[in-house]
Chains A and B, each alone.
Chain A
Amino acid sequence: MKRLFSILSSLLLMSGIGAQNRFPKPDFESGYQYPDIQHALPNEQLWLYVDIFMLVALMSFVAWAILKKRTRKPIIWVSVISVAYFGFFRSGCVCSIGSVQNVSLALVGHTYILPVSVLLFFILPILFAFLFGRVFCAGVCPFGAIQELVNIKNYRLSRSVTSVLSIIPWVYLIFAVLYAVTRSSFIICRFDPFIGFFRLGGDFGLILFGALLLLASVFTGRPFCRFICPYAPLLSLFSRVAIWKVQITKQKCINCELCHNACPVDAIRPPYENKVKEQRLQGVKRLLMYFVVLPFMMVALAFIMRYASDDLSRAHKEVRLYDMVQKQEADPQDKITLELESFFGQGGKISELKQKVNVIQQDYKRYSTIAGALMGLVIGLMLIKLSIKRSRKEYEIEHADCVDCGKCFSYCPQNSICKSVLLK
């Protein structure tokens, strides 16, 4: 009786405190103790430090190997380590490529707090690119490394085609930033082709895409890095003006053409004498024309993107939810989606949602206009770049494209002469 009373009173008490506790806490008579439950908790902080350390160490190692030693051997080992550690062990997150999105979100979002590790992952490869060229791409990036490891034979692609394809990374980057700053989606992370390998499972379509990319990279150098990777354009901007640039050889180039064939990413330019085949005036005219067209192209693309912004905004969860709500309002269904169920279940107010969606769509309008203008700028600059002539007397590395894989060193006869001299 006493116990019944206590249960009743505690029930009353509970119902006063919270509706959740329908059943009272039992008072055990057998001296039962609540089990002490420990949830698995690896020391994540430590791994973040290890990540940063590995990043810096591997990049410095690559820089040393290609600038001082001019040898490729260490790069293979760096690739293996990177695939094993950053790839399989750390499952490829956070990677520098994806960090672009976090950083751009932090730059515009007032509420987003950027983890220091992500900032370092973003800025360190760029800093190294500015100092030594794209040493990050050489083998530290697990995506580059896995392609490097499977690469066997290099079939060359037509230069004119590849230079057109190199617009794709820019467009991808612009869209990734657009979706990141509007807090819609991290598309770089979502459509990552290699992450499925590192995690031993994932979306079938993406794994298939990754497998095809790997297969392609057996026969031609790094298709992902060259034609898809949205981080590469940033790095190539900086490696173009790198302070210590990689050179094929210290000796004089003998124009033997061997290195040109060795390069998997087609970054070695043959000598070119500026024999004028067309009137200089015509070239200047064309250049001027492109400069005039550039702003028009930017405005046109900006306009198109602005026009499409409402459609683009459907990438945002709340916009989609609002669409669903409206559909439901127009034609109430008995069976509603999970999203609507929880929206209504949690007492969501349509007017509030509408306001939120309005803000999002305004954001989209603004940012997609900028994105469109940037795309116009990229295409326009590409055209301008392609209409500038540069004379070269010998084989030279195009530092924007060079991924510092170090393949050319062993091909250069001058290098082996140097070595053999040393050996003697």
Chain B
Amino acid sequence: MKKIIARNIAIITAIFMITLSIMLITNYFQAKDVSPLQTQVVETLKKLNDQNADNPQLQEQIRQLDLMARKAYFINMDHLMRGVYLLLGMLVVFIVSIRIYFAQHKDIPDKEIDLIDEWAIQSQARKYVGLIATGLTAVALLFVVFSMPFMQASKNNTETALAQKDTNSSIVGNTINEAPSLPEETIETNPVENTGSIESEEESVSVEETPLSSKESTTEEIDVASVETSEKAETTAPVSVPKVTSNAFRGNDANGITQAKNIPVKWDLQGGSNIAWKSEIPRGGQSSPVINGNRVFITGADAQARELYCYDLNTGKLLWTLAAVNIAGSPSQVPKTTEDTGLASASVSTNGKQVCAIFATGDVICANMEGKQLWAKNIGVPDNHYGYASSLLVFKNQLFIQYDNRNTHKLIALNTENGKELWSKERADKIAWSSPSIAYVNNQPQLILMSDPSITAYNPTTGDQIWRVECLMGEVGASACSADGIIFGASEYAKMVAINGTDGSVLWESMDYLPEASSPVATHDNIYLATSYGVVASFDTKTGELKKEHETGEEFYSSLMLVEGKIYLFSNGGKMHIFSADDEFKLLDSFETGENTYATPAFTDGRIVVRTDQSIYCVKAN
């Protein structure tokens, strides 16, 4: 009797439990998707209310919905809790009753599912273990083989890390004061730091990684494919390729900072000391050289032709020339330009795959690394009384053109691969000769343009304006620089401003010394600039206070470059000035190089490439 009651209770509770659990589970899935407290409807309605206040109907609706949401939330919570307790209680009743029912139950001898003989069981188990072990090993090996490229990639990352560690330590090895802190502090802006350096290093590693990975794989004797590539690499690239690139005017990101190391501190063109090579440039120009791998790019132009040249970094040999010809819309008569600006004043830019150049005719050409023209177009003849001078900037596969002329005021982004326009923004600014640069703010890239009257930041991907500060006037020739998420811009007859990149607020302004054509460069602590009338000065990045000044008696058009904790600066007469990039801002050395230099030099490991009036030369310690 007792047993039957227990059994019936057990059956009833079991049925209840099953239904209840199904209910709870469906409830769970329903409630999981809709969190009543975060409904989209209420949120959008609230936003609507923010936009147009005093709409009693809307407010009433919000209140109703909000009440419903809260009710739904708390009732749901309540139900869930009660349901779970109920389920638990039933489970207890079920277990008790079923135990009572089975109280006298005994497990009687069952049909033996195993073999009678123990040894046979053991042998069988052994077989299973063996089978599973081999199976697992096979799966693991398969996995290893399939994940090979992935593993390779992660290995390269560690190599990059090691490489960077090496660079750090090598800098520590250098005796220049403050040098150890250089890679962390001076490179980029913002708390993120290092962004620029890592990007450049990654790019460089992609060039170098084949020989490195070959070493790895041959020692481990696993990856056949990479062994092959290593062989290829050995045949094609016997000479070591410099790691550090200088992809645009004023280095990568056009920020005046380079990661190059072992830079010579003394050279002389006449005596030939520390000069690796010197070549004539067929046609004149003011554009600055750009280095990627073993290639040096530069432009030259005159009324006859506009040309892009590629030189070998090691020998100085002219590898190829590409002329901007047969372009639809290109003017038959070249625009008038002044003597000191010329037709090839804007520097080229590259991303290691494509190299793009622009001329004062409005012609843009793009070639691959071997000199094959990929595309060319004319983006409109600039109406510019000196001559178009804004350098190009390539960021990933985007080419940015600051096209601020008298007739057009645009920022254009083209796809470097095919020249298609990605986006284009009309600008409310006037004519300018400044160049775009990239600043990193909270690790996000911002495209910074300077013009009359504003400094403007754009999102490089979409072209949306992030902020705009009106603070400049006159003819803006210098470009912006940035450090730690703060953007600095300065122009003659206007002022120097420091702008917080996160919100576009002006941190400080200064009018002590202002550059005309030479662009400033900033570290974590200081910003350095050179005026056209010979003063080189440093300011505090936090306050804008003038820290140090040097009267050199020279003229400066070339921009300052920050290398290895030092500032390199050419005067127009070709006198090299080397300063320490610290609070002291000491003039470490200054010497005549021999030829007039207006362009900004490009740096890579152990080498400087300089454009003078007529020629291009490379400095390398002998």
Nearest CB of A to B96, in Å: 10
Interface flag for A29 (CB, 8 Å): no
A379 lies within 8 A of B191 (CB):
no
Bound-state CA distance A358–B158 (Å) is 8
User: A300-B137, A329-B195, A350-B192 are known contacts. Are A310 and B154 too (CB-CB below 8 A)?
Assistant: yes
User: A358-B158, A389-B119 are known contacts. Are A167 and B129 too (CB-CB below 8 A)?
Assistant: yes
In the complex, what residues of A have CB within 8 A of residue B126's CB? 383, 386-387
Nearest CB of B to A355, in Å: 8
B122 lies within 8 A of A150 (CB):
no
Q: Which of A235-271 contact B (CB under 8 A)?
A: 257-258, 261-262, 269-270
Nearest CB of A to B557, in Å: 33
B107 lies within 8 A of A154 (CB):
yes
User: A304-B140, A311-B147, A328-B443 are known contacts. Are A269 and B110 too (CB-CB below 8 A)?
Assistant: no
Residue of B nearest to A154 (CB): B107
B107 lies within 8 A of A348 (CB):
no
B184 lies within 8 A of A351 (CB):
yes
A261 lies within 8 A of B129 (CB):
no
User: A164-B125, A328-B443 are known contacts. Are A307 and B144 too (CB-CB below 8 A)?
Assistant: yes
A258 lies within 8 A of B129 (CB):
no
Bound-state CA distance A60–B188 (Å) is 66
Of A46-54, A109-117, A155-163, the one touching chain B: A155-163
A163 lies within 8 A of B98 (CB):
no
Bound-state CA distance A389–B80 (Å) is 56
* Most chain B CB neighbours (cut-off 10 Å) among A307, A308, A326, A382: A307
Instruction: Count how many chain A residues have C-beta atoms less than 8 Å from C-beta atoms of the other chain.
Output: 59
Pick the contact of B129 from A329, A332, A379 — CB < 8 Å?
Answer: A379
Interface flag for A423 (CB, 8 Å): no
Pick the contact of A411 from B88, B106, B461 — CB < 8 Å?
Answer: B106
Nearest CB of B to A371, in Å: 13
A326 lies within 8 A of B442 (CB):
no
Interface flag for B555 (CB, 8 Å): no
In the complex, what residues of B have CB within 8 A of residue A311's CB? 147, 151
Nearest CB of A to B246, in Å: 20
Nearest CB of A to B63, in Å: 29
Interface flag for A344 (CB, 8 Å): yes
Q: Which of B101-129 contact A (CB under 8 A)?
A: 102, 105-110, 113-114, 117-119, 121-126, 128-129
Nearest CB of A to B32, in Å: 8
B202 lies within 8 A of A304 (CB):
no
A379 lies within 8 A of B133 (CB):
yes
Pick the contact of B122 from A330, A334, A346, A386 — CB < 8 Å?
Answer: A386
Interface flag for A190 (CB, 8 Å): no
In the complex, what residues of B have CB within 8 A of residue A62's CB? none
Q: Which of A113-169 contact B (CB under 8 A)?
A: 149-150, 152-154, 156-161, 163-164, 167
Bound-state CA distance A349–B109 (Å) is 69
In the complex, what residues of A have CB within 8 A of residue B84's CB? 200-201
Interface flag for B199 (CB, 8 Å): yes
User: A152-B102, A204-B28, A270-B118 are known contacts. Are A261 and B443 too (CB-CB below 8 A)?
Assistant: no
Nearest CB of B to A30, in Å: 32
Bound-state CA distance A310–B121 (Å) is 40
A307 lies within 8 A of B151 (CB):
yes
Pick the contact of A200 from B88, B133, B164 — CB < 8 Å?
Answer: B88
Bound-state CA distance A301–B140 (Å) is 9
A386 lies within 8 A of B129 (CB):
yes
Nearest CB of A to B254, in Å: 17
Bound-state CA distance A270–B194 (Å) is 70
In the complex, what residues of A have CB within 8 A of residue B80's CB? 201
Residue of B nearest to A358 (CB): B161
In the complex, what residues of A have CB within 8 A of residue B122's CB? 160, 163, 386-387
Residue of B nearest to A162 (CB): B125
B130 lies within 8 A of A261 (CB):
no
Interface flag for A26 (CB, 8 Å): no
Interface flag for B294 (CB, 8 Å): no
Pick the contact of A349 from B81, B140, B168, B193 — CB < 8 Å?
Answer: B193
Interface flag for A272 (CB, 8 Å): yes
In the complex, what residues of A have CB within 8 A of residue B107's CB? 153-154, 261-262, 411
Bound-state CA distance A336–B441 (Å) is 13
B157 lies within 8 A of A326 (CB):
yes
Interface flag for B330 (CB, 8 Å): no
In the complex, what residues of B have CB within 8 A of residue A307's CB? 144, 151
B199 lies within 8 A of A329 (CB):
yes
Bound-state CA distance A348–B190 (Å) is 11
* Most chain B CB neighbours (cut-off 10 Å) among A161, A330, A351: A351
Nearest CB of A to B89, in Å: 12
Interface flag for B141 (CB, 8 Å): yes
Interface string of B12-29 (1 = CB under 8 A from A): 000000000000000010
Interface flag for A361 (CB, 8 Å): yes
User: A149-B95, A269-B118, A358-B158 are known contacts. Are A334 and B137 too (CB-CB below 8 A)?
Assistant: no
Bound-state CA distance A261–B106 (Å) is 9
Interface flag for B132 (CB, 8 Å): yes
Pick the contact of B141 from A167, A277, A304 — CB < 8 Å?
Answer: A304
Interface flag for B444 (CB, 8 Å): yes
Bound-state CA distance A339–B394 (Å) is 30
Residue of A nearest to B83 (CB): A200
Pick the contact of B442 from A154, A297, A344 — CB < 8 Å?
Answer: A344
A350 lies within 8 A of B193 (CB):
yes
Interface flag for A347 (CB, 8 Å): yes
Bound-state CA distance A160–B155 (Å) is 42
Nearest CB of B to A270, in Å: 7
Interface flag for B445 (CB, 8 Å): yes
Interface string of B421-453 (1 = CB under 8 A from A): 000000000000000000000111100000000
In the complex, what residues of A have CB within 8 A of residue B123's CB? 386
Bound-state CA distance A379–B126 (Å) is 10
B443 lies within 8 A of A161 (CB):
no
Residue of B nearest to A276 (CB): B119
In the complex, what residues of A have CB within 8 A of residue B194's CB? 349-351
Nearest CB of B to A288, in Å: 15
Bound-state CA distance A344–B502 (Å) is 13
A158 lies within 8 A of B114 (CB):
yes
Interface flag for A90 (CB, 8 Å): no
In the complex, what residues of B have CB within 8 A of residue A269's CB? 118
Interface flag for A183 (CB, 8 Å): no
Interface flag for B459 (CB, 8 Å): yes
In the complex, what residues of B have CB within 8 A of residue A297's CB? 133
**CB pairs A–B below 8 angstroms (13 shown):** A152-B98, A153-B105, A153-B107, A156-B113, A159-B114, A200-B81, A269-B118, A270-B118, A297-B133, A304-B141, A308-B143, A349-B193, A383-B126
Q: Which 5 A-B pairs have the closest CB atoms?
A: A347-B191, A160-B124, A160-B125, A164-B128, A272-B118
The chain B residues found within 8 Å of chain A, CB to CB, are 28, 80-81, 84-85, 88, 95, 98-99, 102, 105-110, 113-114, 117-119, 121-126, 128-130, 132-133, 137, 140-141, 143-144, 147, 151, 154-155, 157-158, 161, 164, 168, 183-184, 191-195, 198-199, 202, 442-445, 459, 461
Q: A272-B119, A326-B157, A351-B193 are in contact. List 18 more A-B contacts (CB 8 A).
A: A152-B102, A159-B121, A160-B122, A160-B125, A163-B121, A163-B125, A164-B128, A164-B132, A200-B85, A258-B109, A300-B137, A310-B151, A332-B444, A334-B459, A340-B443, A344-B443, A411-B106, A411-B107
